[in-house]
């Protein structure tokens, strides 16, 4: 019996080992195959702008440390924008077709793509847009086209921007679990939902002004493209004057109502194709790969672009969150490369852990003593993101960038009321008076709150001083625009928190001009290191293995999954937080 058991165990172990080996070679074959494939761009083609996945600032470069394999993703602005510019000069590309619904990126990145297409139009090539459904961000992008077409049974949403904040004070009281909150800044409303059941006047003021600034950016661009006035567009939004396809056509939001086959007929006519001829189209992500692999890789000089994207955490960091290890390594590599003449730090972050923000700030300070550091802000560069930015020599922001949020807070969960309700009594034994820093099951002591407040005040004053030094302002001047308040890029420039309005392209051009670099190439950092184990766990984001997050998202739905992620983020926050003061979802 024992022999049979051992035999079965040996057979089972062998099968598992063979399965692992098979999976390993399958992964290698998949990676190698995908990297070797060359995107084919045929003559007389249309560049299709259709983003099916979220758009990052940086697609990313990746390195497998255990098998010495490298690859690159091409779904970031770092490759998308150069691809659109290259298409203007590519004889094979005759025009652009925008066919995008449910665009998942921020307002600043949407504008960057829109501006690139506006620049493309100068080539004289056509730009058309078609949609079954145009949400507001989709329409903002589509409105840059020469002509916009809507499905006769479709929808076009144009109503103004809105943001919703959930307040949890009553929920805490009913559940017996509350968040102990220590903060500085009357606008530091990331913690406001735990303290009250309704929005404060200060928070309502800042959100209202922020939304108005972003909305005005939308309106000004749409008005110019569609030959409307901003006042007329605002009136249309109030009246929901695009609520049906017929009204959208009547009020000049679109140029025609057509089904996709009719739209394709228009494309064929512009391509001089016959009725049955196939339209040669290439998706923007595929074309971005094509352009990236063709572009010049050697030049006399380099401008390094270091991407900091995601929330700021502690530790290594990856393509979804900013950690001090990856960022420090990238900045060090760029400053020690003799061919790199200047560094552009591209920030897209709502902030996060204060300690990590300070560690990266210091690395930027060290770097700019060696080479100029220019900062480019994406959708977000708030709180800890702004903390890093002030170390730069010059700061560029998009008009719709959300930035500022100069403030700090701490939140600690407390279940003392729940413990009392359920008859749980926590007893501590200490060697010293403050040995128990904090107990989840006991009310926060006055001494704990005092020490926490002291730490927050110290960090806030340090934050103010760093901004004052970096922006050549006095501490009182910074404090007057700080207090945790957020600003759009346009507002931030008015308050001298940024220097120029412009995108990454403008920041890179400035960095090159400052150093006298002419024949230069852009070198992107960081390189994210991973391994087979992370890949098998679905942590590398390659897409061909379904991760636990993918399964949860599919089962729960996008909205519930996002709520769960926010709760998870709050529960894992440690230490002081320099984070954007509210979860803003502009829609």
Q: What is the pLDDT, as a whole number, of residue 553?
A: 52
Q: What is the pLDDT, as a whole number, of residue 67?
A: 75
**How far is Cα 324 from Cα 315, in angstroms, rounded to an integer?**
6
Asked whether the predicted pLDDT for residue 111 surpasses 60, the reply is yes
**How far is Cα 238 from Cα 158, in angstroms, rounded to an integer?**
9
Q: What is the pLDDT, as a whole number, of residue 522?
A: 94
Long-range contacts of 23-31 (CB under 8 A, 24+ apart): 23/536, 24/532, 27/532, 27/535, 27/536, 28/67, 28/69, 30/544, 31/69, 31/71, 31/542
Strand residue runs (E) in 416-543: 486-488, 500-501, 520-525, 527-530
Angle between helices 77-89 and 107-120 (to 10 degrees): 10
Asked whether the predicted pLDDT for residue 578 surpasses 70, the reply is no
Asked whether the predicted pLDDT for residue 572 surpasses 70, the reply is no
Element (H, E) at 408: strand 408-414
pLDDT in tens, 145-200: 999 999 999 999 999 998 888 888 888 877 878 777 777 656 556 678 878 888 88
pLDDT in tens, 311-345: 999 999 998 899 999 999 999 999 999 999 999 99
Give the range among 391-395, 462-466, 541-545, 556-560 with minimum mean pLDDT.
Answer: 541-545
**How far is Cα 297 from Cα 516, in angstroms, rounded to an integer?**
19
Q: What is the mean pLDDT of the chain?
A: 85
Q: What is the pLDDT, as a whole number, of residue 90?
A: 96
**How far is Cα 229 from Cα 235, in angstroms, rounded to an integer?**
10
| DSSP annotation string for 8-46 | HHHHHHHHHHHHHHHHHHHHHHHHHHHHHPPPP--SSEE
pLDDT in tens, 274-285: 888 899 999 999
- Average of per-residue pLDDT across 571-582: 57
Q: What is the pLDDT, as a whole number, of residue 576?
A: 61
Among 232, 254, 226, smallest CA distance to 157 is for 254
Decide: 442 and 416 in contact? Cβ < 8 Å: yes
Among 181, 93, 88, smallest CA distance to 456 is for 181
Q: Tell me the sheet residues that pair with 524.
A: 305
Asked whether the predicted pLDDT for residue 14 surpasses 80, the reply is no
Predicted TM-score (pTM) of the model is 0.84
Decide: 191 and 181 in contact? Cβ < 8 Å: yes
- Residues 6 or more apart in contact with residue 122 via CB below 8 angstroms: 88
Residues annotated as catalytic are 188, 383
Q: What is the pLDDT, as a whole number, of residue 342?
A: 97
- Average of per-residue pLDDT across 449-459: 85
- What domains are defined for the chain? 45-159+240-290 (3.90.226.10), 298-415+456-579 (3.90.226.10)
């Amino acid at each position: 019996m024992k022999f049979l058991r051992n035999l079965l165990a040996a057979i089972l172990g062998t099968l598992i080992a063979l399965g692992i080996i098979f999976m390993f070679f399958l992964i290698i074959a998949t990676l190698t195959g995908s990297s070797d494939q060359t995107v084919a761009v045929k003559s007389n083609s249309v560049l299709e702008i259709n983003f099916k996945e979220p758009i990052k600032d940086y697609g990313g470069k990746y390195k497998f440390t255990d098998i010495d394999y490298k690859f690159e993703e091409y779904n970031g602005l770092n490759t998308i924008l150069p691809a659109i510019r290259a298409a203007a000069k590519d004889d094979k590309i005759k025009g652009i077709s925008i066919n995008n619904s449910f665009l998942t990126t921020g307002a600043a990145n949407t504008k960057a793509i829109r501006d690139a297409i506006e620049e493309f139009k100068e080539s004289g090539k056509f730009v058309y847009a078609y949609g079954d459904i145009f949400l507001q961000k989709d329409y903002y992008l589509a409105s840059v086209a020469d002509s916009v077409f809507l499905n006769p049974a479709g929808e076009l949403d144009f109503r103004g921007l809105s943001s919703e904040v959930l307040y949890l004070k009553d929920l805490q009281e009913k559940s017996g679990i509350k968040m102990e909150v220590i903060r500085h800044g009357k606008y530091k409303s990331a913690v406001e939902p735990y303290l009250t059941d309704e929005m404060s006047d200060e928070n309502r003021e800042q959100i209202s002004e922020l939304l108005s600034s972003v909305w005005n950016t939308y309106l000004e661009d749409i008005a110019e493209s569609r030959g409307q006035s901003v006042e007329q567009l605002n009136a249309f939004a109030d009246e929901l004057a695009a609520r049906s396809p017929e009204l959208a056509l009547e009020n000049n939001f679109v140029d025609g109502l057509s089904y996709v086959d009719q739209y394709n007929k228009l494309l064929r006519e512009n391509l001089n194709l016959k009725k049955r001829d196939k339209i040669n189209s290439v998706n923007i992500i595929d074309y971005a790969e094509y352009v990236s692999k063709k572009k010049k890789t050697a030049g006399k000089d380099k401008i390094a672009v270091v991407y900091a994207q995601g929330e700021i955490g502690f530790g290594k960091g990856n393509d979804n969150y900013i950690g001090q290890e990856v960022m420090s390594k990238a900045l060090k590599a760029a400053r020690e490369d003799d061919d790199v003449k200047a560094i552009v730090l591209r920030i897209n972050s709502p902030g996060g852990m204060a300690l990590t923000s300070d560690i990266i700030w210091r690395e930027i300070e060290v770097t700019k003593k060696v080479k100029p550091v220019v900062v480019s802000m994406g959708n977000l560069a708030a709180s800890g993101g702004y903390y890093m930015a002030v170390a730069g020599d010059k700061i560029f922001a998009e008009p719709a960038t959300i930035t500022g949020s100069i403030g700090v807070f701490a939140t600690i969960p407390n279940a003392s009321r729940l413990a009392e309700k359920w008859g749980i009594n926590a007893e501590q034994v200490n060697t010293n008076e403050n040995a128990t820093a904090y107990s989840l099951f006991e009310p926060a002591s006055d001494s704990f709150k005092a020490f926490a407040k002291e730490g927050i005040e110290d960090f806030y004053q340090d934050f103010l001083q760093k901004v004052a030094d970096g922006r050549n302002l006095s501490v009182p001047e910074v404090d007057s625009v700080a207090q945790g308040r957020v600003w759009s890029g346009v507002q931030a420039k008015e308050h001298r928190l940024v220097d120029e309005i412009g995108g990454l392209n403008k920041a890179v051009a400035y960095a090159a001009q400052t150093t006298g670099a002419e024949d230069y190439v852009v070198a992107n950092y960081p390189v994210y290191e991973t391994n087979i184990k992370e890949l098998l766990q679905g942590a590398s984001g390659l897409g061909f293995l379904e991760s636990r997050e993918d399964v949860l998202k599919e089962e729960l739905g996008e909205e519930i999954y996002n709520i769960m992620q926010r709760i998870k983020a709050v529960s894992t926050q440690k230490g002081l937080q320099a984070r954007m003061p509210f979860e803003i979802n502009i829609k």
